[in-house]
């Protein structure tokens, strides 16, 4: 068989592969929302970062073009364009083979972390067009694709030369396919922050960003020679610091470990883990190694220095991390990931490597910097003190009989104790609550009405939060306790309901109540959200009933659906607008929001833990000016009902 025929045969496989990507894009890039869209850029940029790690690329340029496409260009060696054994340019194999690599997989580190690293062929398949230009040996070579299918004619399987060039590099331009993505507007803030982060993790790399889209013209250059130490400094830029940034690195059994940390006055802990430049939002073994070793080190010193007496128990891990901001970055030759979003590092040898390097380097540092060590121990002391006094308050509160806060009988619990099938609806208002209690499936659906607005936990002190009757009722009803910084008393295994469903009116007040509840869950029971237990019910806004008797009535969930109905429906109909859940009778409530067969629920997910935490602080916290600024900048998205 000739080489060309050979390629024809394999090209059928290629088309099948592309089709698989286009049929289930979510499997390859996580989602087809803005997050998935932005991922296309990261996917491409990560290839240039690999070239940087291999030692051949110093600058990457990312441009958002006015036509909606994105250009990524680097000054590396250029993707190989010579003849591949399949009888066609190697470049074409890279862009048409799923998980391309194989032969090109001679990188120092595979960057397959979670959603990342699925490769350029996936981006190609999801782009209505893509142009690849490779500079090498004085010439520019070009290839073109549409929806992943090559459209450039080759000569003897090789790419045409389209110009002359100095130096070498790769330039990709791609336009995301608007039949695949729900939205095709790249979010420049997210992209900039991810590119900036990449530069903190790669101190010798420069990334130039440019937005050329109409009305958004902007340029930014990122280069962070200080590396992750600079990252920690940036994270703490608006906090009162207690120590300098401490940086260390080392290597253990083939695993490179780098860490930077600094203490701030605030009672919070921020520890970010990266493996091969990929952020691990669910943490993992590298963080376990760091935390374990650090706790040991501080307890050992605290006993040596007499801060802990013989009779005292050790500081907890959370105590010693009180006020700590840290970035742990490792390079692992064969990373494995697990967890709900496949972003939790799973390699057991990473625990040992990070623990060993942390032990050696921190002891070396603290032996020479006693004042810093004392400041760290003071932070742990303060945390331990508060932990002990809160423990007392908590045992007093939670040791009372179950549902003791429910003496007013507001919670209508379900009969089943099979948590996997039980649901609890948190319902705004007593009248909707009453209807919901009548309409529900008593076996599996519990109803907890809450009156008016709950406390904004972002603004209140912990004792106020715990004193709040509605919050106590919820904590007791869920059954898994709560965690807040120092105490790790939350136990998701004890959760009594598989689904926690927020049921609020589809108006501004309802949205506010949902936000307050989500803030509560996010701050005190974040695992409820991370493990996918929290939902928001989507009650319809309208019901349309056609005048003709034989036609079915329909619930409509937003104004867009109503406009569409008006356009497509022939004949007259009556329109009922629901002002609130309280207006629905039990039957309607059952059909629209309770019945698992017909209701609509929105699963609450965290796209980016850090971003979510910062946003929650910004939107729900006490500091007004930055919130006002944010609202003014984003107010065009809002729809107020007057
Ligand atoms: F994702 C991508 F494929 F589209 C892409 C790859 C996008 C961009 C903007 C850059 C790149 C890329 C690939 N930049 N640099 C490289 N380098 C290689 O592919 C390469 C070059 C030479 C050799 C060699 O062994 O000689 C090996 C490799 C992997």
pLDDT tens figures, 515-526 = 889 988 988 888
The Å distance, Cα 197 to ligand 1 centre, comes to 21
Residue 124 CA: which ligand 1 atom is closest? 4
Quick one: average pLDDT of 448-454?
Answer: 82
Q: Tell me, using a 6 A CB cutoff, whether residue 80 lines ligand 1.
A: yes
Query: Which one from 349, 381, 509, 591 is the annotated catalytic residue?
Result: 509
Question: Is residue 106 over pLDDT 60?
Answer: no
Q: Of the CATH numbers 3.30.160.110, 3.30.230.10, 3.30.420.40, 3.40.50.300, which one belongs to the domain with range 228-394?
A: 3.30.230.10
Secondary structure class of 17 (helix, strand, coil): helix
118 pLDDT higher than 50 = no
Return the higher-pLDDT residue of 80 and 456: 80
* Position with higher pLDDT, 340 vs 556: 556
Tokens 């080759």 identify what position? 154
Does ligand 1 have an atom closer than 6 angstroms to the CB of 48?
yes
In the chain, what are the domain boundaries?
A: 21-222, 228-394, 401-539+603-637
Count of positions (residues) in the chain = 642
Report how far ligand 1's centroid is from the alpha carbon of 99 (Å): 14
> Closest Cα to atom 29, ligand 1: which residue?
104
pLDDT one-digit tens code per residue, 528-562:
998 889 999 988 888 899 988 888 888 898 888 89
Tokens standing for residue 490? 């939350």
Q: Are strands 278-279 and 270-275 parallel, antiparallel or unpaired?
A: antiparallel
Using the atom order of ligand 1, give the atom closest to the CA of residue 120: 1
* pLDDT 10s digits, 352-407: 999 999 999 999 999 999 999 999 999 999 999 888 887 777 666 654 444 333 43
Q: Where are the alpha helices (DSSP H) in 504-550?
A: 508-524, 526-530
For 25, 182, 184, 468, 612, the CA distances from 33, given in Å and listed in that order, are 11, 6, 8, 37, 17
Strands (DSSP E) along 351-472, which ranges?
A: 423-428, 445-450
pLDDT of residue 107: 36
Helix (H, G, I), strand (E, B) or coil at 587: helix
Tell me the CA distances in angstroms from 347 to 120, 149, 352, one per residue in order.
26, 38, 10
The residue whose CA has the least distance to atom 3 of ligand 1 is: 120
Ligand 1 contact via 172 beta carbon (within 6 Å): yes
pLDDT band of residue 100 (cuts 50, 70, 90) is: very low
Distance 121 CA to ligand 1 centre (A): 13
| Nearest ligand 1 atom, CA 172 | 9
> What is the model's pLDDT at position 409?
53
pLDDT of residue 318: 92
Q: What pLDDT shows up at residue 133?
A: 98
What pLDDT does residue 486 have?
A: 44
Distance (Å) from CA 218 to ligand 1 centroid = 27
559 classed as catalytic: no
In the annotation, is 428 catalytic? Answer: yes
Cα(469)–Cα(457) distance, integer angstroms:
13
pLDDT in tens, 188-222: 999 999 999 999 999 999 999 999 999 999 999 99
**Cα 266 to middle of ligand 1, angstroms:** 44
**Is the Cβ atom of 170 under 6 angstroms away from ligand 1?**
yes
Ligand 1 atom closest to Cα of residue 73: 9
Nearest to 144 by CA among 219, 183, 92: 92
Return the ligand 1 atom nearest residue 94 CA.
Answer: 3
pLDDT, residue 367, reads: 96
What per-residue confidence (pLDDT) applies to 105? 35
Give percent above pLDDT 90 in the chain.
55
Which residues does 566 contact at the CB level (< 8 Å), separation at least 6? none
- Judged against a pLDDT cut of 60, whether residue 642 lies above it is answered with no
Is the pLDDT higher at 492 or at 392?
Answer: 492
Distance from C-alpha of 338 to C-alpha of 393, rounded to nearest angstrom? 37
- pTM flag (> 0.95): no
- Ligand 1, pocket-test mutation among 170, 173, 195, most atoms within 8 A of CB: 170
Confidence of residue 270 (pLDDT cuts 50, 70, 90): very high
Partners of 272 in the beta sheet?
A: 327
Q: Indicate the pLDDT class of residue 5, thresholds 50, 70 and 90.
A: low
Strands 70-74 and 169-176: antiparallel
What per-residue confidence (pLDDT) applies to 429? 82
Q: Kindly name the residue from 46, 428, 458, 484 that is annotated as catalytic.
A: 428
CB 259 within 8 Å of CB 247: yes
**Whether residue 633 has pLDDT greater than 90:** no
CB neighbour class for 603 (10 Å; exposed up to 12, middle 13-18, buried from 19): exposed
Mean pLDDT of the chain: 86
pLDDT digits 0-9 by tens, 563-608? 999 988 888 898 988 878 888 888 888 988 999 988 988 888 876 6
Q: What angle do CA 405, 407, 413 make, to 5 degrees?
A: 85
Cβ of 94 below 6 Å from ligand 1:
yes
Burial (0-12, 13-18, 19+ Cβ within 10 Å), 537: buried
Specify the residue with its C-alpha closest to ligand 1, atom 14: 48
Regarding the beta carbon of 542 and ligand 1, being less than 6 Å apart is answered no
Lowest mean pLDDT among 290-294, 309-313, 465-469: 465-469
**Domain made up of 401-539+603-637: CATH architecture:** 3-Layer(aba) Sandwich (3.40)
Tens digits of residue pLDDT in 399-425 = 444 433 343 458 889 988 899 999 999
Query: Is residue 51 lining ligand 1, measured as CB closer than 6 Å?
Result: yes
- Cα 383 to its chain centre, rounded Å, is 29
What's the whole-number mean pLDDT along residues 234-249? Answer: 96
Q: Burial letters for 581-594: b for 16+ Cβ neighbours within 10 Å, e otherwise?
A: bbebeeebbbbbbb
The CATH architecture one would assign to domain 21-222 is 2-Layer Sandwich (3.30)
Contacts by residues 307-314 (CB-CB < 8 Å, ≥ 24 positions apart)? 307/377, 307/381
Closest atom of ligand 1 to CA, residue 60:
9
Lowest mean pLDDT among 139-148, 156-165, 377-386, 425-434: 425-434
User: How confident is the model over 291-318, as a mean pLDDT?
Assistant: 95
Q: Rounded to an integer, what distance in angstroms lies between the CA atom of residue 123 and that of residue 119?
A: 7
Tokens 């007004």 locate to 624
Q: Where are the beta strands (DSSP E) in 139-297?
A: 139-146, 149-150, 161-164, 169-176, 206-211, 218-222, 246-252, 255-263, 270-275, 278-279
Which residue in 74, 390, 484, 505 is the catalytic one? 505
Instruction: Flag the least confident range among 42-46, 136-140, 234-238, 609-613.
Output: 609-613
CA distance 407 to 405: 6
102-106, 200-204, 508-512: the lowest-pLDDT one: 102-106
Least trusted range by pLDDT, from 308-312, 319-323, 413-417: 413-417
Q: How far is the CA of 418 from the centre of ligand 1 (A)?
A: 53
Asked whether residue 98 carries a pLDDT value surpassing 80, the answer given is yes
For residue 547 the two structure tokens come to 């005048």
82 is catalytic: no
- Ligand 1 atom nearest to CA at 43: 1
Atom 6 of ligand 1: nearest residue by CA position: 47
Ligand 1 neighbour 58 (Cβ under 6 A): no
Pairwise pLDDT comparison (463 vs 36), residue with the higher score = 36
Q: Is 509 an annotated catalytic residue?
A: yes
């Amino acid at each position: 068989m000739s080489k060309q025929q050979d390629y024809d045969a394999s090209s059928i496989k290629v088309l099948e592969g592309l089709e698989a990507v286009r049929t289930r894009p979510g499997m390859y890039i996580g989602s087809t929302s803005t997050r998935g869209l932005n991922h296309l850029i990261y996917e491409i940029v990560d290839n240039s970062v690999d070239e940087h790690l291999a030692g051949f690329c110093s600058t990457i340029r990312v441009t958002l073009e006015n036509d909606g496409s994105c250009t990524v260009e680097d000054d590396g060696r250029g993707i190989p364009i010579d003849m591949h054994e399949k009888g066609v340019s190697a470049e074409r194999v890279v862009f048409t083979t799923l998980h391309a690599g194989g032969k090109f997989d001679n990188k120092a580190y595979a960057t397959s972390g979670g959603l990342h690293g699925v490769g350029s062929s996936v981006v190609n398949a999801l782009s209505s067009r893509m142009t690849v230009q490779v500079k090498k040996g004085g010439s520019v070579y070009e290839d073109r694709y549409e929806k992943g299918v090559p459209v450039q004619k080759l000569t003897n399987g090789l790419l045409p030369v389209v110009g002359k060039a100095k130096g070498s590099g790769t330039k990709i331009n791609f336009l995301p396919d608007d039949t695949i993505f729900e939205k095709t507007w790249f979010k420049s803030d997210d992209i900039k922050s991810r590119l900036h982060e990449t530069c903190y993790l790669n101190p010798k790399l420069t990334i130039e960003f440019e937005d050329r889209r109409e009305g958004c013209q902007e340029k930014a250059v990122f280069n962070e020679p200080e590396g992750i130490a600079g990252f920690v400094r940036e994270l703490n830029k608006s906090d009162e610091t207690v120590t300098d940034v401490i940086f260390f690195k080392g290597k253990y059994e083939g695993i490179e470990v780098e860490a930077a940390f600094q203490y701030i006055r605030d009672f919070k802990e921020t520890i970010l883990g990266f493996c091969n430049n990929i952020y691990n939002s669910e943490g993992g073994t590298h963080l376990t190694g760091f935390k374990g070793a650090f706790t040991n080190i501080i307890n050992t010193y605290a006993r040596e220095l007499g801060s802990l007496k013989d009779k005292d128990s050790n500081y907890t891990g959370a105590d010693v991390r009180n006020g700590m901001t840290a970035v742990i970055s490792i390079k692992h030759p064969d990373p494995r990931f697990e967890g709900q979003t496949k972003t939790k590092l799973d390699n057991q040898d990473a625990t040992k490597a990070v623990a060993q390097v942390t032990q050696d380097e921190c002891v070396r540092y603290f032996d020479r910097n006693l004042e810093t060590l004392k400041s760290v121990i003071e932070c742990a002391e303060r945390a331990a003190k508060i932990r002990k006094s809160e423990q007392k308050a908590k045992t007093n509160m939670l040791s009372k009989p179950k549902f003791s806060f429910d003496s007013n009988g507001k919670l209508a619990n379900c009969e089943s104790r099979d948590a996997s099938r039980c649901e609890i609806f948190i319902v705004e208002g007593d009248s909707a609550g009453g209807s919901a209690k009548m309409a529900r499936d008593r076996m599996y659906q519990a109803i907890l009405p809450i009156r008016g607005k709950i406390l904004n936990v972002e603004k209140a002190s912990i004792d106020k939060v715990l004193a709040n009757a509605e919050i106590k009722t919820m904590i007791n009803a869920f059954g898994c306790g709560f965690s807040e910084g120092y105490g790790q008393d939350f136990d998701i295994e004890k959760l009594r309901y598989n689904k926690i469903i927020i049921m609020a009116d589809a108006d501004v007040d309802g949205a506010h109540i949902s936000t307050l509840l989500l803030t509560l869950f996010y701050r005190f029971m974040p695992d409820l959200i991370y493990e996918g237990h929290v939902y928001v019910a989507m009650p319809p806004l309208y019901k349309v009933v056609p005048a003709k008797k034989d036609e079915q009535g329909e619930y409509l969930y937003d104004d867009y659906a109503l406009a569409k109905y008006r356009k497509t429906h022939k004949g007259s109909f009556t329109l009922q607008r629901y002002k609130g859940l309280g207006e629905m009778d039990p039957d309607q409530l059952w059909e629209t929001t309770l019945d698992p067969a017909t209701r609509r629920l929105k699963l609450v997910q965290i796209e980016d833990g850090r971003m979510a935490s910062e946003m929650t602080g910004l939107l729900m916290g006490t500091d007004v000016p930055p919130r006002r600024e944010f609202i003014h900048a984003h107010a065009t998205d809002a729809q107020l009902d007057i």
